[in-house]
């Protein structure tokens, strides 16, 4: 009896010492709870039901110091925030930023002199939290060896997580949470379908930390895994004060709700560059590399194909004809120093030629060459030649050093008013808001995989992207392939083919977001072809976005507005789809709908063009062939 009484008293003491704090979304429907019961942890409920069960929080440092396992919540502070900001490079011009915030100060134990903090924000469309390491933490210069963060669901739900990749060029296979491989570095985001909502896990405001992956546990939980430093100094080497990136849970009752979210951008540090009037979005012609052949240099084919002065002029001419702003000179134009062009590409002649055609130029370079020669030397030279942007490739890492390299490269490029397109890149983390000259990026298994081989750029993959990689930010998928084949007939050839219909490739230019929209195919394959008029004068940033319908891996349809004109687009998987979309987003008046649709029963490169008058009470019936698409413009009638 005495032992039972002591045990009961100890349990009561534990209850007294344990503390928890809650913060709700502005609409009260999402609740995050922070607690120190059995160590620092959090949980999330949606619409009154548990979605994330009690999940561990914490950090481990060199010297066996840990924050979290025996933590005690000490002080808390809450505040409400409501504002908006203008985004000239995203899915909508005016972005609402409304959340409730909880700041918690944590002591690792009663005897510990060290403090750290957790900051949590709850929005109507998600939750985010980050670790705050203030000067009072006593860490000084520190080496982080492990992040203890986990995400534990209430059930073993269906999920989609990117396959391990050094540059986020991943497919997102569907599987149960318990089937996610233990120890594998899954590429964000992780999308989970729970009975009540869809949740996408990501990160934002990655500036001086290591990039995060997720690993399976054989259960309904996944754990954070950070990229290691190349110098062997743990995961993060820094000094206090320091904050981690935001750990983000995007939440939507339907999967399609997530596509309209601005949560990643909202959580990122605002523009650090000041005046960005020189950053101009637009459509960009590519060069001969993607097609894999150049008749002026027939000895180089496939992955070794390259442009030269003559072929680049043809791409510049076509960009000018189409009203596109840019053309990209891709690799093989220099040997090992980006300030020393090779003779087959006359840089000065091309810049002068493009200027006469009202086209501006981007220039490719390898990240290692850029680093070795020096940011300022290379960027000063490229800007003096007359280029407005650079495509920098093959970083292939999420390490803290690479994250810091990104920031240094973007800051240096901004000094010379150069836009930047990163390829061989990790997934977006909101950095394009902080440095708006970061005009787009890869970090996606895109159209180039039709050329590389392996048949990975499948209809299932490309219709899954809007619900996975597409949630995070700009995506240089490089759509617009016009050698269209059914998945059954597709082959890796040069010139490069693509899986799916012509209308699907048109629709991708609207479904996928990229302020610099690089069109993959050649003037030869574009000129005079059905559907080409949809690409003329195409906008790449939007004033408004309305997601109309969507099911992961099956279909997605949305409408985007630029100025007075709306663009309607849809893609599907490898089965026929027919569905109606309401046009109530149009508002008052009559509108001309000009559609570019699949030609049912015909070859995949055929387009059925039509025009009709509609209004806000109309519905558009969309019929998509297997691996099909639909694209349309809606223009107000005067």
The tens digit of pLDDT for each residue in 597-634 reads 999 889 999 999 999 999 999 999 999 999 999 999 99
Structure-block tokens of residue 207? 């500036």
* Percent of the chain whose pLDDT exceeds 70: 97
Comparing C-alpha atoms, which of 627, 625, 300, 292 is closest to residue 490? 627
pLDDT over 80 at 441, yes or no = yes
- The pLDDT tens digits of the residues spanning 277-322 come to 999 999 999 999 999 999 999 999 999 999 999 999 999 999 999 9
Give the pLDDT mean for 360-370. 98
The answer to whether residue 9 scores a pLDDT higher than 90 is: no
Q: Is 562 helix (H, G, I), strand (E, B) or coil?
A: strand
Question: What is the crossing angle of helices 375-385 and 400-415, to 10°?
Answer: 40
Rounded Cα gap, residues 203 and 211, in angstroms: 8
pLDDT tens-digit readout, 469-502: 999 999 999 999 999 999 999 999 999 999 999 9
Token pair listed for 144: 């982080």
Model pLDDT for residues 97-141, shown as the tens digit of each residue: 999 999 999 988 777 777 899 999 999 999 999 999 999 888 899
Chain Cα centroid distance, residue 493 = 29
Q: What is the mean pLDDT of residues 20-30?
A: 97
User: Taking Cα atoms as reference points, which of 250, 204, 225 lies closest to residue 52?
Assistant: 250
Fold of 269-443: TIM Barrel (3.20.20)
Question: What is the per-residue pLDDT for 12?
Answer: 33
Using CB atoms within 10 Å of the CB of residue 227, give its burial: 0 to 12 exposed, 13 to 18 middle, 19+ buried.
buried
CB 419 within 8 A of CB 395: no
Residue 522 has pLDDT above 80, yes or no: yes
Report the distance separating Cα 58 and Cα 400, nearest Å.
19
Contacting residues for 581 by C-beta, under 8 A, at least 6 apart: 548, 549, 557, 559, 568, 570, 619, 620, 622
Domain(s) labelled CATH 2.70.98.10 in the chain stretch across 19-267
Q: Where along the chain do the CATH 3.20.20.70 domains lie? A: 269-443, 445-511+541-638
249-274, pLDDT tens digit by residue?
Answer: 999 999 999 999 999 999 999 999 99
The mean pLDDT of 351-370, rounded to a whole number, is 98
| pLDDT (mean) for 420-443 | 98
pLDDT one-digit tens code per residue, 155-197: 999 999 999 999 999 999 999 999 999 999 999 999 999 999 9
pLDDT tens digits, 507-521: 999 999 999 999 999
SS3 97: strand
Residue written as token pair 């390491």: 133
Rounded to two decimals, the pTM is 0.95
CATH of 19-267, one of 2.40.10.10, 2.70.98.10, 3.30.365.10, 3.40.50.300: 2.70.98.10
Q: Which residues contact 472 (CB under 8 A, 6 or more apart)?
A: 188, 189, 202, 264, 427, 428, 429
What pLDDT shows up at residue 5? 33
**CB 475, CB 548: distance < 8 Å:** no
The token duo for 533 is 């008029």
Question: Looking at the domain covering 445-511+541-638, what would its CATH class be?
Answer: alpha beta
DSSP string, 410-457: HHHHHHTT-EEEE-S-PPP-SHHHHSTTEEEE--S--TTHHHHSSS-S
Strands of the sheet with 326-329, listed across from one edge: 438-441, 419-422, 389-393, 360-366, 326-329, 282-285, 516-519
- Mean pLDDT value of segment 82-109: 96
pLDDT band at 403 (very low <50, low <70, confident <90, very high): very high
Q: Which of 134, 144, 136 is closest to 64 using CA atoms?
A: 144
Supply the mean pLDDT for the chain: 95
Q: What is the pLDDT of residue 64?
A: 81
Q: For residue 18, what pLDDT band results from cuts at 50, 70 and 90?
A: low
Residue 533: φ, ψ to 5° = -65, -25
- Cis amide linkage into residue 241, ω under 30° from 0: yes
Residue 540 has pLDDT above 70, yes or no: yes
Which pLDDT belongs to residue 463? 98
């Amino acid at each position: 009896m005495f032992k039972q009484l002591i045990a009961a008293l100890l349990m009561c003491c534990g209850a007294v010492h344990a503390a928890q704090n809650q913060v709700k979304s502005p609409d009260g429907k999402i609740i995050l709870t922070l607690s120190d019961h059995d160590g620092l942890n959090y949980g999330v409920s949606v619409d009154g039901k548990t979605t994330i069960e009690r999940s561990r929080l914490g950090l481990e440092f060199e010297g066996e110091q840990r924050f979290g396992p025996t933590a005690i919540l000490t002080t808390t502070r809450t505040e409400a925030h409501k504002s908006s900001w203008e985004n000239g490079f995203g899915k909508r011009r005016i972005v609402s930023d409304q959340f409730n915030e909880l700041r918690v100060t944590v002591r690792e134990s009663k005897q510990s002199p060290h403090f750290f903090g957790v900051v949590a924000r709850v929005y109507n469309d998600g939750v985010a939290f980050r670790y705050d390491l203030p000067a009072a933490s006593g860490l000084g210069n520190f080496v982080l060896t492990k992040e203890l963060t986990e995400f534990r669901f209430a059930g073993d739900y269906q999920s989609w997580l990117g396959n391990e990749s050094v540059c986020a060029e991943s497919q997102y296979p569907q599987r149960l949470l318990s089937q996610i491989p233990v120890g594998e570095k899954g590429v964000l985001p992780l999308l989970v379908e729970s009975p009540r909502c869809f949740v996408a896990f990501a990160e934002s405001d990655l500036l001086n930390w290591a990039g995060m992956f997720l690993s399976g546990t054989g259960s309904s939980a996944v754990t954070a895994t950070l990229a290691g430093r190349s110098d062997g100094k743990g995961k993060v080497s820094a000094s206090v004060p320091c904050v981690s990136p935001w750990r983000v849970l995007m939440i939507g009752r339907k999967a399609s709700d997530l596509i309209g979210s601005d949560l990643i951008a909202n959580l990122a540090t605002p523009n650090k560059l000041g005046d960005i009037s020189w950053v101009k979005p637009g459509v960009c012609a590519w060069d001969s590399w993607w097609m894999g052949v150049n008749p002026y240099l027939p000895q180089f084919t496939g992955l070794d194909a390259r442009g030269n002065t003559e072929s680049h002029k043809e791409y510049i001419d076509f960009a000018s004809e189409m009203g596109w702003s840019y053309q990209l000179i891709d690799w093989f134009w220099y040997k090992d120093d980006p300030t020393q062009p090779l003779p087959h590409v006359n840089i000065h002649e091309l810049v002068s030629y493009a200027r006469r055609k009202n086209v501006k130029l981007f220039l490719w370079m390898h990240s290692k060459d850029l680093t070795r020669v020096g940011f300022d030397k290379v960027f000063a030279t490229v800007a003096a030649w007359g280029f407005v942007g650079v495509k920098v490739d093959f970083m292939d890492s999420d390490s803290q050093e690479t994250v810091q390299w990104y920031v240094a490269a973007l800051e240096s490029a901004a000094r010379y008013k150069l836009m930047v397109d990163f390829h061989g890149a990790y997934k977006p983390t909101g950095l394009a808001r902080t440095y708006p000259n970061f005009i787009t990026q890869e970090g996606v298994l895109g159209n180039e995989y039709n050329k590389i081989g392996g048949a990975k750029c499948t209809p299932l993959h490309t219709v899954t992207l809007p619900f996975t990689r597409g949630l995070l930010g700009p995506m240089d998928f490089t759509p617009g392939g016009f050698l269209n084949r059914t998945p059954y007939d597709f082959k890796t050839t040069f010139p490069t083919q693509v899986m799916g219909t012509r209308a699907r490739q048109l629709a991708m230019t609207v479904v996928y977001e990229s302020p610099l929209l690089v069109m993959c195919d050649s003037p030869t394959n574009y000129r005079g072809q059905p559907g080409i008029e949809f690409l003329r004068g195409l906008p790449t940033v939007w004033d408004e976005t309305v997601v109309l319908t969507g099911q992961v891996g099956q279909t997605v349809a949305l409408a985007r507005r630029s100025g007075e004109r709306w663009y309607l687009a849809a893609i599907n998987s490898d089965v026929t789809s027919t569905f109606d979309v309401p046009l109530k987003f149009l508002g008052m008046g009559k509108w001309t709908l000009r559609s570019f649709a699949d030609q049912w029963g015909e070859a995949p490169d055929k387009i059925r063009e039509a025009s009709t008058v509609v209004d806000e009470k109309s519905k558009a019936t969309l019929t998509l062939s297997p691996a099909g698409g639909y694209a349309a413009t809606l223009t107000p009638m005067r």
